[in-house]
Chain A
Amino acid sequence: MRVVVDFDLCESNAICMQVAPEIFEVRDDDFLYVLNEQPGEDRRSAVEEAVQRCPKQAISIQD
């Protein structure tokens, strides 16, 4: 699984960081950093929740 963020859409509101902090981090500069672009399958449901809850629909999963 590959996590892809469309940074043109992302507005750094950090909802994804709440859902999966080991994968998404919004730092003090208020930019989103993807800490792990290829997380293991055990993280799939967390990433799927982040996809659903991102208000900008900026996250997608590429298998």
Chain B
Amino acid sequence: MNPIVALISSSLGKKYLMAISGLLLSLFVLGHLVGNLQIFADPYFINSYAYKLHNLPYGLLWVIRFGLLAVVAVHVWTSIVLTLENRKARPQSYDKDATAEASLSSRTMRVSGIIVLLFLIFHLAHYTVKNVPGHEYGKAIQIKDVTYEAKVPLKLPESKGGAVLKTPTGEDKYGYDVHTMMIAGFSHLWITGIYLVAVFLLCNHLSHGVSSMFQSLGMRNSGSRKSLDLFARIYGIGLFLGYSSIPVAVLLGIIKVQGIPA
């Protein structure tokens, strides 16, 4: 057999792919959180951050998008193949089932993974493709009784010493008002609900996953296992607290829509 095919079709080869894709996704969700937490600062920060991402040179945005999609595809594909093989390996289950050691998060990886995947599809429809019914995108986003233009100049408020950014041809630069869009999203309780459940399950997924991937790659032993398990739990809980702080702050009115003078 071709050695590459042999590696990828072996049980361990698939586990390596699962662990490496899991590692990349774990790093991505951390980076994504750091980006999102800019919502707590002046709208200028998250809006210009979003602008920069959307205007990366050399079409890097699409490279990143397709790269992430490929990583998710590998992760989901390996999880499906491995799970089906595992089912086949025990056609007759035990009359009495017991668990000696395995944590709840390790036993619910499939459920948490599937729900996180469904959320991911919703999330992309919501903010990347922008076609979730219930609130408008594009020209204007309406919240309560105020209407703001969704396309806003990327500038620091003049009160803080900002100046209008100009393109080389002298026009003002425009980008999406991500700040307002995020608040608009979390003004719908059902969106906040879905988001909190998904982020909680992601935390659960990573409480096992982040330690497990070290074992799958042969980089864990009994000396480091306790610390890695603790690290995984802290990583998961930290992400949960970080991500859920945003809708909570919106609900409590800590983050408010800020009109940018025309």
Real binding pair: no
